[in-house]
Amino acid sequence: MPHVVESLAAAPLTVLHEEEQLFQNSVRQFAKERLAPHVRSMDEQGLFRKDLLQEMFQLGLMGIDIKEEYGGQGGTFFQSVLAIEELAKVDPAAAVIVDVQNTLVSNAIEAWGTNEQKKTYLSRLATKSVGAYALSEPASGSDAFALTTRAKPTPDGFLLSGRKLWITNAAEADIFLVFATVDPTAGYKGITCFLVDRDTKGFSVGKKEDKLGIRASSTCELILDDVAVTHSHVMGEIGKGYKIAIETLNEGRIGIAAQMLGLAEGALEHALKHARERKQFGKRIGDFQGVQFELAEMATQIEAARLMVYNAARLRDAGLPFVTQAAMAKYFCSTIAEEAASKAIEVLGGVGFTKDYPVEKLYRDAKIGRIYEGTSNMQRVTIAKALRDPDK
């Protein structure tokens, strides 16, 4: 019987342009050489190393598609997706740091910020400052616009008061996109987006969550106690924050899909390695058909997931409709990531259930994919609406 293990390893990857391949290879090298040795300790400590974060800035990973005039790399959204995927193969926690920075924060400022805001904030995001996206609240999860954080008008601007929860990158961030309502009676039409600096009086980062997975990525609450901001800190129009949130999250879902894709690829790599090396009954376990079938199914699902992610990212870069494809990619990738990590543990057997091998961590990391930046149910709602009303 042919050795499926070898043929899977040699399967052709989706075609990339030469510059994209070079970029992908550079991120892959960083992930394997610099990131991999510290993944376990960072997971145990629940802390991302500052030196690695600084290296990600130096490599341009924190400002991939920020324009060169602001100190960024002048790359594409697709390249951000490639970086997220490669990092997630080694550590999904590192991948989501880069994801939020590129697909949410900097993208929102590029699309909605004034020229002065772009000059001020994008230059910092590209070179030294981590960004965070503060939308979620205790009573505002899937119902994202049920937020209660207030923006009370003052002669000079606004006073922001409220509490945000589950904010990724909050422990490291210097720049926050904060969504608050200027008029609770207006519903979602009162929501406005504000650019808030960490050192603003009345603003503080609160409790850091002790999580199941992606533990090195910080997730914290934010406390806003009469945080004074001027009109120059309003991003976009007053009352149009909902539009910023919707459009940005649609893009961000492609990033999460890429994270889950990379996680699944990492799980498959570990399973393949073990299947080649582990022997039972005088044969490599990868020579047994039962194991081969599991690996083949994982590889097929991953290839389908990769095509979905790349297609959604290409559509976005081309300025074509991509919302349904983003929802499909996020939904599918979060599903196959959890399945791939679970199967990898089974291929490794007893050692896969221990913390001595990386697949245990990947299994824990995978769970969040079905939850953040739009739950699986919310993605199904989006997909179903597109099927029901394809012309809307």
C-alpha–C-alpha distance, residues 318 and 42, integer Å: 37
Which residue intervals of 197-322 are DSSP H helices? 241-277, 289-317
Tokens of 100: 């939020």
Which of 172, 251, 265, 373 is labelled catalytic?
373
Cα 22–Cα 27–Cα 29 angle in degrees, nearest 5: 95
C-alpha–C-alpha distance, residues 2 and 46, integer Å: 43
**Residue 373: active-site member:** yes
Q: State the burial class of residue 161 (Cβ atoms within 10 Å of its Cβ: 0-12, 13-18, 19+).
A: middle
Q: C-alpha dihedral over 153, 193, 169, 270, to 10 degrees? A: 160
DSSP 8-state class, residue 369 = G
Tokens of 325: 């494809």
First-to-last C-alpha distance (Å) of the chain: 52
| Residue 201 CB neighbour total at 10 angstroms | 9
C-alpha–C-alpha distance, residues 276 and 268, integer Å: 12
| Residue 218 CB neighbour total at 10 angstroms | 24
Contact by Cβ (8 Å): 362, 92: yes
Contact by Cβ (8 Å): 82, 27: yes
**How do 219-230 and 191-197 pair as beta strands?**
unpaired
Catalytic residue set: 373
